Amino acid sequence: SASALRAYAAPLGPRSLGPTASRSRPRAPSAASPPTPSCRRTWLSSCRKYLPTCRACGTGRHTSRRPHAPTEYPLLSYGFTSSRCMMGATTQIAQIGVVAGDGSYPSWSSGIVAEYDRPRAFFEPERIPGLRARMTRRGGRSIMQNTIGVDVSKAMLDAYCSLRGEHRQFPNGAPGLAALVRWASRVAAVIVFEASGAYHRDLELMLSRRGLTFAKVNPRQARRFAEAIGRVAKTDRLDAEMLARMGAALQLEPTAVEPEIVVNLRELLVFRRGLIKDRTAAKTRLKTARQAMLRRLLTQRLAQVERQIARVDATVQALIASDARLVERLNILVSIPGISRISATALLADMPELGSLSGKEAAALAGLAPVSRQSGQWQGQERILGGRRSVRQALFMPALSAIQHNSSAKAKFEDLVRAGKPRKVALTAVMRKLIVLANALLRDNRKWAPEPA
């Protein structure tokens, strides 16, 4: 009835039912002035004057109130109802009836109404509009996961927790890592950090041993994310916060923990590559040296490098022999014509994901997949981009050997050259064929066999 409706809406404000309503209560903000961020606090205070108790259950003040302004229910434009009694409010409104939005409630609240004009807005309370977005829950799951961003440097570890909004700093050493793990263990969060060479390895090893979830991201992608959200400044503190925001916004998948034997194998191969560079530099200097003393020192240096390379190779082979799974994978790779033990070892260390990817994913991870460049009527030239350089370096010489001794690789190379492709483009296609083949063989756990004629 009209009297029951007027009795229910009276606490909502003097303009809830138009000019016939009582004007003895304080006025809400003027209809001529829409609710700006500066007046929202005043608006909320005035709403509490109109509705000091929950209109759905009548149990008095609740510790948490949310505004309701759905288009279908204009009587609740000033109302506050706790989330636990929304169904009660729905029942009351259904019993009282719905009043059309004909201007009987303040017109400045229509801006709030328009933001939540979906039918579900009444059954699921939305956040209070403000300058900063709040985290809500939908379907019982948080939209943004809790993350901890860690910026790794040589001396310090800067950490930021997105849930607490807390910054912490730890020394990049054993005591600092232990303190960081204790601090991060108090919150169920994904720890996000950049792959920063040797400086992040101790952190990754500590997190994997303690069973904490982490995501290791590409530094270039992290920098692009910061630029995309308008973060131009770059400090360790800001980078930690940016990494936490990146993990929450992109819902990063946790990084799989690498076996320690693979990490040790990769470290040995990196050292071996450094020795190869030293040997090349010493040979170049020896060709141009004129003084006898310099030639003697360079000769000694070359002999020393050769001994160190032999020692590293022996250690690598012993490390592989200690793991039956690595021995099996190595034997599969060396069965492919053109791939030697050195190249196979490099693939095992630098791309341990081989065998668990699709062909396209393996090519993209190695940086051997052509990237399209097209816009409107313009069609650019496709080229490879990104990926792991060390994998491409390990496949270059096997590709040269494959076009001589592998019939299928040779046929592909010659077909591309006859089609007018540059020889290096054709060689890159052979490298892509090799990495896709290696991935398929490791996935099927079988050795290479020549195709039947």
Other Cβ atoms closer than 10 A to 394: 25
Work out the pLDDT band at 108, boundaries 50, 70, 90: very low
Work out the pLDDT band at 144, boundaries 50, 70, 90: low
Work out the pLDDT band at 453, boundaries 50, 70, 90: low
Residue 9 reports pLDDT greater than 90: no
How many whole angstroms separate alpha carbon 347 and alpha carbon 364? 15
Residue 257 reports pLDDT greater than 90: no
The answer to which of 184-188, 267-271, 320-324, 376-380 has the lowest mean pLDDT is 184-188
Q: What is the pLDDT of residue 266?
A: 92
Q: Which long-range contacts does 40-46 make (Cβ < 8 Å, 24+ apart)?
A: 40/128, 40/129, 40/130, 44/128
Q: What is the pLDDT of residue 255?
A: 87
Q: What is the pLDDT of residue 168?
A: 92
For residues 216 and 222, the answer to whether their CB atoms sit within 8 Å is no
Residue 18 reports pLDDT greater than 80: no
Residues recorded for the chain: 453
Q: Can you say whether the dihedral through the CA atoms of 99, 104, 107, 109 is positive or negative?
A: negative
Q: What share of the chain is helix, strand, coil (3-state, %, to 5)?
A: 55, 10, 35
Residue 25 reports pLDDT greater than 60: no
% of the chain residues with pLDDT over 70: 68
The answer to which of 28-37, 142-151, 334-343 has the lowest mean pLDDT is 28-37
More confident residue, 391 or 198: 391
How many whole angstroms separate alpha carbon 101 and alpha carbon 121? 16
CA count, 13 A, side-chain hemisphere, 229: 17
How many whole angstroms separate alpha carbon 89 and alpha carbon 66? 13
Any idea what the Cα angle at residue 99 is, between residues 102 and 108, rounded to 5°?
45
Taking only the tens place, the pLDDT of each residue in 49-92 is 433 444 444 444 444 444 443 333 333 333 333 333 443 333 33
Burial class (CB in 10 A: 0-12, 13-18, 19+), 451: exposed
Any idea what the Cα angle at residue 254 is, between residues 443 and 357, rounded to 5°?
20
Q: What is the pLDDT of residue 451?
A: 75
Structure tokens at 397: 């010489």
Structure tokens at 422: 């540059």
For residues 287 and 374, the answer to whether their CB atoms sit within 8 Å is no
Residue 415 reports pLDDT greater than 70: yes
Q: What is the pLDDT of residue 98?
A: 37
Taking only the tens place, the pLDDT of each residue in 299-335 is 999 999 999 999 999 999 999 999 999 999 999 999 9
The residue assigned the tokens 């997190």 is 207
How many whole angstroms separate alpha carbon 355 and alpha carbon 445? 8
How many whole angstroms separate alpha carbon 254 and alpha carbon 383? 30
Q: What is the mean pLDDT of residues 350-375?
A: 91
For residues 144 and 248, the answer to whether their CB atoms sit within 8 Å is yes
How many whole angstroms separate alpha carbon 75 and alpha carbon 50? 12
- DSSP type of residue 25: S
Q: What is the number of helices (H) and of strands (E) in the chain? A: 17, 13
DSSP E strands, 184-322: 190-194, 214-217
3-state secondary structure of 409: helix
